[in-house]
Structure 1
Amino acid sequence: MMLVDAARMAGALLAIASGLVVSASSVVAQGIDRVAHIGLLCLSRCDTPAFDALRGGLRSSGWIEGRNLKIEFRAADGHIDRLPDLAQELVNLKPELIMAFNPQATRAAKDATATIPIVFLAVADPVGIGLVDSLARPGGNVTGLATLVPGGLMGKGLELLAQMVPKASRIAVLLNPSNEVSNRLFSLDAQPAARQLGLELHVFRVRAPEDIGPAIDAASQAKVHALWAPGDPIFHNPVQRIPELAARAGLPAMYLTREFVQAGGLMSYGPDLLDLNRRAASYVDKILRGAKPSDLPVEQPTRFHLVINLKTARALKIQVPQSLLVRADEVIE
């Protein structure tokens, strides 16, 4: 008898749990009785942790891919010259909005349409490069979340690298000439900080993923002491490329995002990009429900993370200062 009652109770609990799941799904999707059509434009790849975070944010807002949301993906595999045609392809499909990952993709989308709303992600200093009129009043058809604005983030990254490797005075910098943001902030933030820290910066230009290897080889031949990759989509194609090449060259390296440190890089300092991408879903949701991009202020990051890979530090024979370990948001063993 007790076994029967236990079985009945278990069945009842399972039914309740199933009902809660169905109810939660209904609540999430309430108010959405149509299929929205949007585009996603990426310089490198679209299938990244950043997009997974965005997809999660969209689901929380009730937009579920394959149910009430259709996404058209276009990725240039790191080749900027392909972006204008890919952007035009998306515009010709007449989506309700276009999401653009990084400055180059956002520029291509903006050049392709002045009417379809554009939500950008992974763009720093959107005002400085002319994508929006101001953070508070973007104007036009473009808005989104800025990864940073001028004011010292690049300089802070250099300072942390100098603390990690005090004897490093010659720093190789990887810069993509097509990245308006990195080049602008390099001049505004990095160069003054380098002078103050007594660092000598050597710039190596990379225009496509296949340029990265030769650039790091050239940096090694130039007898630099460390490597700095301020951030660019082509650096993620694939994400382990630079950490592996830097390790082979014996160069300690600083990155903008934690993915590189997870892939074996020494350290990173930058905004929480996954959090920014989750938050970007609210912009998509609002626009799909009728809001205008010009009425949605550009948000800025509120959290910056320092991540250190101790295994890589040991391989490079670097003794990580206690001051950095104490302030690190994440330490990878």
Structure 2
Amino acid sequence: MKRKGLFATLLVMLMIVMAACGEGETTNGTSNTNTNSNTGGSGNDGKKYKVAISQFVEHPSLNAVKDGIIAALADGGLVEGDNLEIDYQNAQADFNNLQPISQKIKDGKPDVAVGIATPSAAALVDEITDSPVVFAAVTDPIDAKLVSTLEAPGGNVTGASDSNPDAINQLMDFIASEFKDVKKVGIVINKGEPNAVVMADTAKARLAEHGIELVEAPIATSSDIPIAAQSLVGQVDALYVTLDNTVVEAIDILLDIAHEHDLPFFSSDRDTVEAGAFATVGFKYYDHGYEVGEMLLEILKDGKNPGDMNIRKPENLDFILNIGAAEEMGITVTDEMKAYVKDPETNIIE
């Protein structure tokens, strides 16, 4: 009888202990005491993100934008292959690829979609209306109908423009002041790219103030560039190229013609100057991409609403001169020309 009583007592005590241990469990047996136990910590630790990138074409400037975006995300703690998945799509300058790419990105349900260059950004904005879209390397987001205002645009779209009209005006003034013999400036342009048209119109208006004519050689695809560029030889005194993705994709053709015929060649981006053009007023596209990447972090990690974020544009502009390329075009670089450059160590390329 004593053994049975002892056994009964022990059984009751065991049941009490088990009941006490069970108070920290839900009905499905998972612990309620630490809701982050499967993430390895508190807050966003362990969370994985998905970013989709649609890029219109591969060329140095747009590639630098993409690299800058990825670098900013990594510096913010989002590392591809770790807690970040990147779905990268490239339209290869084919407008027919834009809608299928945008549909594919939408179906993939990324946390944020990024459009690099106006055509890709516009396609994403048309397709995606219920999740964040951020654009980069867009000349005029209002003209492209991506947003209706640059300040707190509302909706699900924000981003950064890669153009400041002041840069174009400063470059045209430089041409007029330092190249007195230039009366006509030639431009190869794809009028199917709104960004190219906007920039060309700005340049045309500014040159007209100096009595200089902008002569256009229209193209539809990059394969048209050799004939279009050759048609300007003997008709113009200098060449200029905007942030025209179709043209920049095949910039070597224009550079060869400029060098062969001693035509001063001016561009709208640093990468083209580094490739062999003479001058621009601009910035580094990697830095532009990095800034866009920081905007993505604000959306992904800080929970900001894209519609509340102002559209950004380049502010720290500087003249960039390629001295070596000048020799190829028969340009004598003067001290007056060099004086335009605020940061000679960085922006005078020997």
Range class of TM-score, shorter chain:
0.7 to 0.9
Question: Is 1:223 aligned with 2:238?
Answer: no
Q: Does 1:309 align with 2:309?
A: no
Output the amino acid matched with 1:317: G
Counterpart for residue 88 of structure 1: 103
Aligned partner letter, 1:43: F
* Deviation for aligned residue 1:254: 0.6
Q: Which residue of 1 aligns with 2:338?
A: 325
Mapped partners of 1:66, 1:132: distance in 2: 33
Larger radius of gyration: 2
Change in Cα spacing, 1:206 to 1:305, as seen in structure 2 (3 Å) is farther
Deviations 1:221-260 (A, max 9, x none): x521111001122234255443234323432211111111
Verify the 8 A CA contact 2:270 2:283 in the aligned structure 1.
no
AA of the residue aligned to 2:47: R
Residue 119 (structure 1) aligned with residue 131 (structure 2)? no
- Alignment partner, residue 53 of structure 1: 68
Aligned-partner SS, 1:100: strand
The C-alpha deviation readout for 1:308-331, integer Å capped at 9, x for no partner, is 111121122211232221222411
> Contact 1:239–1:259 (CA<8 Å) still a contact in 2?
no
Structure 2 stretches of 5 or more lacking a match?
1-42
Distance 1:258 1:126, change over 3 A: same
- Alignment deviations for residues 89-127 of structure 1 (CA, whole Å, 9 cap, x no partner): 211211111111111111111111111211111112212
**Normalising by the residue count of structure 2, what TM-score does the alignment of the two structures yield?**
0.80
The one-character-per-residue Cα deviations of 1:273-292 (angstroms, maximum 9, x if unpaired) are 32221111111112223222
**Which residue pairs with 1:22 in the alignment?**
none
What is the distance in 1 between the residues matched to 2:285 and 2:326? 24
1:183 aligns to 2:200 (yes or no): no
Distance in 2 of aligned mates of 1:49 and 1:235? 17
- Structure 1 residues 308 and 95: alpha-carbon distance in aligned structure 2, compared to 1, 3 A threshold: same
2:35 equivalent in structure 1: none
CA deviation after TM superposition for structure 1 residue 59, in Å: 1.0
Letter in 2 for 1:58: L
1:32–1:68 Cα contact (<8 Å) kept: no
In structure 1, runs of 5+ residues without a counterpart are 1-29
CA–CA distance in 2 between the matches of 1:207 and 1:304? 31
Q: Please report how far the alpha carbon of residue 181 of structure 1 lies from its aligned counterpart in structure 2 after TM superposition.
A: 2.6
Supply the distance in 1 between the matched residues of 2:203 and 2:276 (Cα, whole angstroms): 24
- CA gap of 1:264–1:184, structure 2 versus 1, over 3 A, is closer
Partner of 1:19: none
Q: Which runs of 4+ in 1 moved over 6 A?
A: none
From 272, 295, 300, give the equivalent of 1:288. Answer: 300
Q: Distance in 2 between matches of 1:101 and 1:244?
A: 27
CA distance in 2: counterparts of 1:79 and 1:157, whole angstroms: 30
2:180 to 163, 166, 176: 166
User: How many equivalent residue pairs?
Assistant: 301
2:33 counterpart residue number? none
Q: Aligned AA for 1:225?
A: D
Which of 169, 194, 202 is residue 155 of structure 1 equivalent to? 169
How far, CA to CA, are the matches of 1:245 and 1:39 in structure 2? Answer: 38
Q: What is the SS of the residue equivalent to 1:281?
A: helix
User: 2:276 is matched with which residue?
Assistant: 264
On the 8 A contact 1:143/1:293 being kept in 2, the answer is: yes
8 Å Cα contact 1:266/1:309 also seen in 2: yes
Residues 86 and 245 from structure 1, CA distance in 2 versus in 1: closer, same or farther, beyond 3 angstroms? farther
Q: Is the 8 A contact 1:44 1:236 kept in 2?
A: no
**Rounded Cα–Cα distance in structure 2 between residues aligned with 1:168 and 1:319:** 14
Q: Could you report, residue by residue, the CA deviation over 1:34-68 in whole angstroms, capped at 9, with x for unpaired residues? A: 22111111111287222222221111111111111
Measure, in 1, the Cα distance between the counterparts of 2:257 and 2:128: 39
Does residue 250 of the first structure (1) align with residue 262 of the second (2)?
A: yes
Query: CA RMSD, aligned part only?
Result: 2.0
Per the alignment, residue 274 of structure 1 pairs with 286
1:207 & 1:287 partners in 2: Cα distance?
37
TM-score (norm 1): 0.84
> How far off its partner does 1:139 sit?
1.4
AA paired with 2:95? Answer: I
* Among 94, 99, 102, the residue aligned to 1:79: 94
CA drift of 1:70 comes to: 0.9
Match of 1:17 in 2: none
**Percent of aligned positions that are identical:** 22
